[in-house]
């Protein structure tokens, strides 16, 4: 009686080893867009629809299938417990044992996240607290199964670089119509973060750092910063030139900005050589959409156009996008895409230069003709 049992055990072991090796090969060479949490994440992707190289397949699976595969969730309810807007999630008897739960409580009086959210950490897939009065973040890092987080129309003022830590499964976040003024450097850089869609439109941001858009070894689908007051990009940590950045970027929306964009700080002293421009822009795999925003068209835009025109068009000219100058005077309302690259109007893309400029002179750099005047 012993022998057949031992034999079947051996067969089983071989079979498991075989299955594992298939899984490993598949994960390495083909399909790794989904964060795999304890093997429980089962979002699928149609590989007939998503084709191309590994990067393209990953991006397509992440972006095209986002939130499209979510089945019916059991809804849980919120009970407000006092007039300070504090609340708890309540569990009905019939929901006990549900695998997928969601919580929706919109147009309400929440001022804080419910205090017992972590009790549902292994089932909670979706939160919608749109149009409440939430001002401060709670530590959400326990919610490792959460797929989507909607907080549009609240009163949040910041996003820190620890806000999304531990949210391994989170793919989409809506923070539009809050009062966000600042986001930390490296908002998305932590190993545990795999966010694909973020809506930060209609907030009060004035600056934006490159470390939130160009992220080592990661990509995203779309981050929407439209309808803010962003006047320029910064590059405080200088990630762009120091490290080689792979497979980074995504589509960045900067539409309808109230102020004119200035590229100065972003492309200042550390990037003037042709190679610097080429490194920055050839590495970037996404697009910028700046429709209805205006740009200060100085020598940095001039250099960009001169040094890497193909990257410039690839990055800025997605679909019906525009690139309109708001200044200097002679370029006001001029569309960069509407003019051939050899047109003399690009001579107006200049910057004042102070170094080595003789006293009482005004020196300007004019990249198009590579000269100082």
Residues of this chain that bind ligand NAG (CB under 6 A): 37-38, 42, 70-71, 99-100, 125, 139, 141, 144, 161-162, 184-186, 332-333
Residue 312 CB, nearest distance to ligand NAG (Å)?
22
Q: Which residues contact 17 (CB under 8 A, 6 or more apart)?
A: none
Residue 308 CB, nearest distance to ligand NAG (Å)?
28
Sign of CA dihedral 92, 93, 94, 100: positive
Residue 36 CB, nearest distance to ligand NAG (Å)?
8
Residue 342 CB, nearest distance to ligand NAG (Å)?
24
Residue 227 CB, nearest distance to ligand NAG (Å)?
16
Q: Which is nearer to ligand NAG, 67 or 274 (CB)?
A: 67
Strands (E) across the chain are located at 74-80, 87-90, 101-104, 124-128, 148-150, 158-159, 172-174, 182-183, 197-199, 207-209, 222-224, 232-234, 251-253, 287-289, 294-296, 324-327, 351-353, 363-366, 371-372
Residue 278 CB, nearest distance to ligand NAG (Å)?
26
User: Using CB atoms within 10 A of its CB, is residue 320 exposed (0-12), middle (13-18) or buried (19+)?
Assistant: exposed
Q: Which is nearer to ligand NAG, 162 or 247 (CB)?
A: 162
Q: Which is nearer to ligand NAG, 70 or 363 (CB)?
A: 70
Cα separation, 250 vs 203, in Å, equals 20
What region does 305 belong to: left with phi over 0, alpha with psi -120 to 50, or beta?
A: alpha
Residue 99 CB, nearest distance to ligand NAG (Å)?
4
Cα separation, 185 vs 81, in Å, equals 36
Taking CB atoms, the residue at the shortest distance from ligand NAG is 186
Q: List, in sequence order, every residue forming a beta bridge with 198; answer none if it has no partner.
A: 173, 223
At residue 262, the 3 state secondary structure works out as: strand
Q: Which is nearer to ligand NAG, 310 or 333 (CB)?
A: 333
Residue 176 CB, nearest distance to ligand NAG (Å)?
22
Q: Which residues contact 70 (CB under 8 A, 6 or more apart)?
A: 125, 126, 147, 148
Q: What share of the chain is helix, strand, coil (3-state, %, to 5)?
A: 25, 20, 55
């Amino acid at each position: 009686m012993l022998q057949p049992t031992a034999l079947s055990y051996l067969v089983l072991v071989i079979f498991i080893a075989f299955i594992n090796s298939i899984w490993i090969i598949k994960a390495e060479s083909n399909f790794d867009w989904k964060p795999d949490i304890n093997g429980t994440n089962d979002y699928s992707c149609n590989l007939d629809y998503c084709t191309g190289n590994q990067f393209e397949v990953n991006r397509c699976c992440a972006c095209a299938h986002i939130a499209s595969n979510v089945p019916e969730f059991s809804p849980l309810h919120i009970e407000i417990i006092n007039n300070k807007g504090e609340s708890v999630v309540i569990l009905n008897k019939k929901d006990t044992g549900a695998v997928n739960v969601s919580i929706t409580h919109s147009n309400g009086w929440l001022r804080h996240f419910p205090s017992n959210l972590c009790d549902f950490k292994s089932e909670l897939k979706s939160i919608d607290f749109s149009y409440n009065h939430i001002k401060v973040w709670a530590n959400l890092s326990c919610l490792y199964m959460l797929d989507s987080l909607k907080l549009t129309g609240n009163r949040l003022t910041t996003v820190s670089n620890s806000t999304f830590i531990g949210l391994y499964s989170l793919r989409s976040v809506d923070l539009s119509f809050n009062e966000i003024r600042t986001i930390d450097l490296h908002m998305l850089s932590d190993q545990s973060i795999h966010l694909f869609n973020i809506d930060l439109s209609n907030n009060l941001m004035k600056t934006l750092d490159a470390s939130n858009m160009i992220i080592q070894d990661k990509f995203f689908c779309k981050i929407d910063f439209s309808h803010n007051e962003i006047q320029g990009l910064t590059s405080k940590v200088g990630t762009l030139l120091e490290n080689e950045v792979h497979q980074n970027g995504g589509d960045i929306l900067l539409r309808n900005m109230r102020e004119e964009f200035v590229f100065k700080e972003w492309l200042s002293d550390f990037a003037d050589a042709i190679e610097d421009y080429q490194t920055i822009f050839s590495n970037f795999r996404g697009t910028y959409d700046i429709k209805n925003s205006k740009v200060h068209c100085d020598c940095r835009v001039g250099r960009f156009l001169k040094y890497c025109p193909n990257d410039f068009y690839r990055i800025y000219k997605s679909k019906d996008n525009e690139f309109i100058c708001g200044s200097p005077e002679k370029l006001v309302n001029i569309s960069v895409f509407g003019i051939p690259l050899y047109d003399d109007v690009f001579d107006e893309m200049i910057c004042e230069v102070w170094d080595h400029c003789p006293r009482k002179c005004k020196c300007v750099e004019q990249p198009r003709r590579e000269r100082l005047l």
